[in-house]
Amino acid sequence: MSKSSIHANRPLSPHLQIYKPIPTMVMSIVHRVTGAALYVGTLLVAWWLIAAAIGEDYFNFVNAIYGSWLGLLVLLGYTWALLHHMIGGIRHLIWDTGRGLEKETTTKMAWASLILSVTLTVLVWIAAFTIA
């Protein structure tokens, strides 16, 4: 059997459709997506700070946008993305030390990062609305 016939039925480049999604794979993808989303969210924070520097009228305008239901939804997503990305970074930092690389541990850490990011997001928003 030639080498080319062995590989004839195999895809040249694996795609996500071939692999069964596992928690660590999904969290890796989500970590990348949240990292990209943080670019947009950081622009929104910068816009808010610039509005504060420009003057009260413009600041009130931006605050009205952020205070709308759509603005609050975007800010909620930004909060979650920020916390999830941070927790994912901590997870990767732990892995960089050579710890937690067992399959069972990586799966538990993936689920924990999702649960912890959602929990912390809820707590941050409860604190924000309680203090404000």
Which residues contribute to the annotated binding site for heme? 85
Query: What count of other Cβ atoms lies within 10 Å of the Cβ of residue 78?
Result: 19
Q: Are 21 and 14 in contact (CB under 8 A)?
A: no
Q: Per the annotation, where are the binding residues? A: 85
* Residues 35 and 85 sit within 8 Å (Cβ to Cβ): yes
Q: Which amino acid is at 101?
A: L
Which of 43, 30, 42, 36 shows the shortest CA–CA distance to 117?
Answer: 30
**Which amino acid would we find at residue 55?**
G
